[in-house]
């Protein structure tokens, strides 16, 4: 276990040894990966959007049984039971609450009053300004290189605009995979980096080996951003299934979309009323059309097919562009150690240029 070599406002805020975050990836960021990251000194984040409330509590308890280090939980701010999930974090002493969308001012205050660090993810400087004004402790900003739902602006341009906009710790995500990236982010002024695909491709990740092998075969052109899965821009591996989705029309996708909506309802144990409430919340917070809300039900089911069941013929595989430069499967401890060691070396080397 490597000692702390780099101290930043983020490590001070969260109590982790290293400024490295394993992001909350649906069906991927489970107890094993989160505790592996935490024990390596980084911040592991449970992905709760694909869990029921009961499943989330069991996952939190399991992580606490595997590690005594700080960890976080990623929440959907527009979920109908978001307040109940926040109460769960408070009750179990979870250190960090991260959000894919901006939580309300009241929700931020409620978490902070109980010592929970609040870190929303943002895609623009104005979003960072808003949540900072509401009391958020930190923000994570993901550039267009990142996997999953993403925007069009690359990290190298998005990050400085956010850093200029707020004075709270900023974690940079999108395109990071090694110590050079961490050193670069710190040089920009960020307080840490978030990595998704890099942690997916570790021995601690529960993703099936055959799926990991498929990821490792990709080059820098191996991903595509499409709105055909759930109506929003989503970066994923360029598989034959995704290529077929890209070429299909709305009518052709309607039948499978309805079937997956029913499957999602069964898997989530939600009532039709709860599904409708979630849909209305999504429409208010994200401005989605009715068709986009129907497509949104595809995402959990299709990601599970690929990332849990290993069925690349019927599932999608979210991925950042960094998949094209990753060629191994280290443990979380090995990964974090080499990231920190390389970042420390690069930062020390760069001082040689100073007069």
At 33-52, the pLDDT tens digits run 999 999 999 999 999 999 99
pLDDT attached to residue 255: 52
DSSP 72-103: EEEE-TTSTTHHHHHHHHHHHT-SEEEESSPP
In this prediction, residue 81 carries a pLDDT of 95
Percent of the chain predicted with pLDDT > 70: 86
Q: How far is CA 161 from CA 70, 98, 138, in A?
A: 29, 21, 15
Tell me which residue of 33, 34, 36, 40 sits closest to 2, measured CA to CA: 40
Question: Starting at the edge strand that comes first in sequence, how are the strands of the sheet with 223-226 ordered?
Answer: 148-149, 234-237, 223-226
Tell me how far apart the alpha carbons of residues 138 and 98 are, in angstroms, rounded to a whole number.
9
Question: Is beta strand 192-195 parallel, antiparallel or unpaired with respect to 20-22?
Answer: parallel
Residue 48: per-residue pLDDT:
97
pLDDT at residue 195, as a whole number:
98
Which tokens hold the place of 203? 């021995």
Pairing of strands 20-22, 43-47: parallel
Count Cβ neighbours within 10 Å for each residue of 155-166 and write b for 16 or more, e otherwise: beebbeebbebb
List domains and CATH numbers for the chain. Answer: 9-207+326-353 (3.20.20.70), 223-318 (no CATH)
pLDDT score for 274? 55
pLDDT single digits (tens) 224-281: 999 888 888 999 999 998 888 888 765 454 555 545 455 544 555 556 465 555 555 5
Q: In the predicted model, what is the mean pLDDT of the chain?
A: 90
Across residues 290-300, what is the average pLDDT?
Answer: 61
**What is the predicted pLDDT for the residue at 277?**
55
Report, as an integer, the average pLDDT of 299-321. 88
Does 63 score more than 80 pLDDT? yes
DSSP letter at 21 equals: E
Q: Which two tokens stand for residue 290?
A: 């009715």
């Amino acid at each position: 276990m490597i000692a702390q070599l780099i101290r930043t406002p983020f490590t001070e805020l969260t109590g982790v040894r290293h400024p490295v975050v394993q992001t909350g990836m649906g069906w991927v960021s489970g107890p094993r990966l989160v505790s592996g990251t935490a024990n390596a000194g980084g911040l592991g984040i449970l992905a709760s959007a694909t869990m029921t409330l009961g499943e989330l509590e069991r996952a939190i308890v399991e992580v606490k049984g595997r590690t005594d280090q700080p960890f976080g939980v990623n929440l959907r701010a527009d979920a109908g039971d978001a307040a109940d999930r926040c109460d769960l974090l408070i009750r179990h002493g979870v250190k960090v609450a991260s959000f894919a969308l901006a939580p309300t001012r009241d929700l931020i205050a409620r978490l902070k009053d109980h010592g929970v660090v609040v870190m929303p993810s943002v895609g623009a400087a104005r979003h960072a300004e808003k949540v900072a004004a509401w009391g958020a402790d930190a923000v994570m900003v993901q550039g267009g290189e990142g996997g999953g739902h993403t925007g069009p602006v690359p990290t190298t341009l998005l990050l400085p605009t956010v850093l200029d906009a707020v004075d709270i710790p900023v974690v940079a995500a999108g395109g990071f995979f090694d110590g050079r990236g961490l050193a670069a982010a710190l040089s920009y002024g960020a307080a840490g980096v978030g990595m998704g695909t890099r942690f997916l491709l570790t021995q601690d990740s529960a993703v099936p080996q055959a799926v990991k092998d498929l990821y490792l075969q990709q080059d820098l052109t191996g991903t595509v951003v499409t709105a055909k899965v759930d109506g929003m821009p989503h970066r994923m591996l360029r598989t034959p299934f995704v290529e077929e989705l890209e070429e299909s029309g709305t009518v052709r996708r309607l039948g499978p979309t309805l079937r997956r909506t029913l499957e999602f309802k069964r898997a989530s144990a939600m009532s039709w009323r709860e599904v409708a409430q979630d849909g209305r919340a999504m429409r208010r917070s994200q401005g989605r059309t009715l068709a986009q809300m129907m497509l949104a039900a595809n995402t959990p089911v299709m990601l599970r097919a690929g990332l849990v069941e290993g069925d690349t013929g019927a599932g999608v595989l979210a991925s950042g562009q960094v998949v094209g430069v990753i060629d191994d499967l280290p443990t979380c401890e090995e990964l974090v150690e080499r990231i920190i060691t390389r970042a420390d070396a690069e930062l020390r080397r760069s001082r040689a240029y100073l007069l």
